[in-house]
Amino acid sequence: MIVRPRENWFRMLFVWNGSVLQSIIPQLMFMAVFSSLAVVTQGRILGEKIPLNTAPFTLFGFALAIFLAFRNNASYARFDEARHLWGNLLIASRALTSQVLCYLPAGAEKAERIQAANTLIAFVYALKHQLRKTDPTPDLTRLLGEERAEALRHKHYRPAAILNDLRAGLVRLQGETPGSDTTRWMVDAQLNEMGKTLGGCERIASTPIPFAYGVLLHRTAYAYCMLLPFGLVDSTEFFTPLLCVFISYTLIALEAIANEVAEPFSTAPNALALDAIARTIERSVLELCDLEVPPEVLPERPYQLT
């Protein structure tokens, strides 16, 4: 996802990166050519006039808009749930780090606490890479060392394995000090929250929106766009290509946005900014531990106006 500052209305007219326009240009060019042919032939195919007017398109367009709204709402619900899950992960990570620093025995070595913090951060990055199906080895090597990263290389569910290591390490740190049962309960509650985030993200990633919905919307939108020139050519004449391209842009772009948002863990411009969220969690945990904090992921400006 592109992390960007909020822009004014004029700059928004010229946004390129992050919009779906660049991915639907071939479709819009096809519609421009197709609607131009409808104008040249005066709405005829093989010499036969297509008897269409604007009346049925009004009703059909209204039904299509409702279906597009349903599809976009379903897609955004997945995006919103994914964002809430990662927000809960940030909260649980901060709470767990604070509990490790404040409640665990004072005699525990600083290196052990730092190791616990690095293991927590490694869980976050391992989850990000698992959801994106990318290689987590560089991040795991940086945080856990080459030996542990190599041991995790052949694991199918690396975040679950790291979470188990984190729980085992905290139990060793805690020992059998007075009040250890209460402390263990508090720490385990945060670990369970992290486990719920892992399971929730896996559920979203492994359960896409039913394919039939996408097929139906795709076919209906394109059928509407391809019939539209024949309904407008008699009333709008040479303006038909312009109107058809504009209406097609709206419908096809809505479908493209729904497809991007429905996969919140991808690297598409409108997916979740997992790189920025993971870095925020890392910075927050390290700051609580009084360790050096890496730079944050800053918003980028994808275009310049001259």
What is residue 306's predicted lDDT score, i.e. its pLDDT? Answer: 30
pLDDT surpassing 70 at residue 141? yes
pTM for the model? 0.86
What's the mean pLDDT when you consider all of the chain?
87
Taking only the tens place, the pLDDT of each residue in 264-298 is 999 888 889 999 999 999 999 999 988 889 988 77
If you average pLDDT over residues 187-207, what whole number do you get?
Answer: 95
The per-residue pLDDT for 305 is 34
Helix 110-132 crosses helix 274-288 at what angle (to 10 degrees)? 170
Report CA-CA distances (Å) from 122 to 93, 107, 158, 170, 176: 11, 25, 10, 15, 27
Quick check: 105 pLDDT over 80? no
